[in-house]
Amino acid sequence: MLLLLSLSVFSQESNPVELFEGRGITSTPQRIMDLSYQNLQEVPISTNLPGIEVLILDNNQLTELPNWINNLTNLRILSVRNNKLIEVNSLLSHCTKLEQLHLTGNAALTDLPNLSSCRNLMLVDVVGTRIREIPAHIRTMDHLYYFKYNPGEK
């Protein structure tokens, strides 16, 4: 059951974007921003939303993550599926509460920054990218349960 506690709408040129606090199966409120399917080439918000825990940027035209992403100190889930990412900003390593990183479908992505400071990271999904092997720093992460990738695909 999802209980909406508050709702703020961020208007854009073509589609409204919603930010809401909700309670799912956890007992604590979550701040979620979903900017999926907005045809974004860059993220139109800035560091004035440090409480965001879940940021969904799926199915846009992003080639890079914003530099201010390191200010999202409560970020637990980042989903940037099906974009045009060329690289993942190393500032993401400052998001030490990050638990899930979804990068599926970024066909030009060839590498990940060192994420070993993200000690809560449990899942990294890079299926559909050019990452073909598990990076050395990923192999040393104690809490990582899943690293999804396409080994040996061309």
- Report the CATH number that the domain containing residue 117 is assigned in CATH: 3.80.10.10
pLDDT given for residue 99 in this prediction? 98
pLDDT given for residue 30 in this prediction? 67
pLDDT given for residue 50 in this prediction? 72
Query: In the block, which residue shows the tokens 């993401």?
Result: 92
pLDDT given for residue 114 in this prediction? 96
pLDDT given for residue 8 in this prediction? 36
Query: Which residues of the chain are under the pLDDT cut of 50?
Result: 1-21, 23, 47
pLDDT given for residue 25 in this prediction? 53
Total domain count, the chain: 1
| pTM beyond 0.85, yes or no | no
pLDDT given for residue 9 in this prediction? 35
Domain that holds residue 68: 1-154
